[in-house]
Amino acid sequence: MRVSEVARQFDLNAQTLYFYERIGLIPSPSRNASGYRIFAEQDIERLSLIERAKALGLTLDEIKEILQLQEGQGLTCGEVHQRLLKKLQQIETTIAQLQKLREELLPLVQRCETAISQQQIATDCGIFQPDE
């Protein structure tokens, strides 16, 4: 596959693929007779893993470390496990913070809905005023 096809498949900018290559996240793809980069199936699988890992919140550095393990270099399985546990803890902290924010926003939404249902529509929204 050519760069434009791969970029379209993963909904990426072609420059992102060049960046991944430059920082060593993906190996330099082979080139055809015209000099265009051609991505092999293993390159596509690697990009798929990268995009899934990004969607899960891993940084490019974290992804690079995991990919190095797959290649038999860098991190041990135990080290990858520790990094993944740390990322999981970060996600759980974020979820807790978002739930707290949700709990703070719900009463405001309910006050808005009450005001709207009672047709207390004014130019200035009063939901942030203390209850009287």
Question: pTM of the prediction?
Answer: 0.62
How many whole angstroms separate alpha carbon 56 and alpha carbon 131?
Answer: 41
Q: pLDDT for 38-76, tens place per residue?
A: 999 999 999 999 999 999 888 999 898 888 777 767 778
Q: pLDDT value at position 80?
A: 78
Q: pLDDT value at position 123?
A: 58
Nearest residue to 45 via CA among 60, 62, 27, 61 = 27
Q: What's the whole-number mean pLDDT along residues 23-41? A: 91
What percent of the chain is modeled with pLDDT above 70? 88
How many whole angstroms separate alpha carbon 35 and alpha carbon 30?
Answer: 9
Q: pLDDT for 75-116, tens place per residue?
A: 788 887 887 888 889 889 999 999 999 999 999 898 888 877
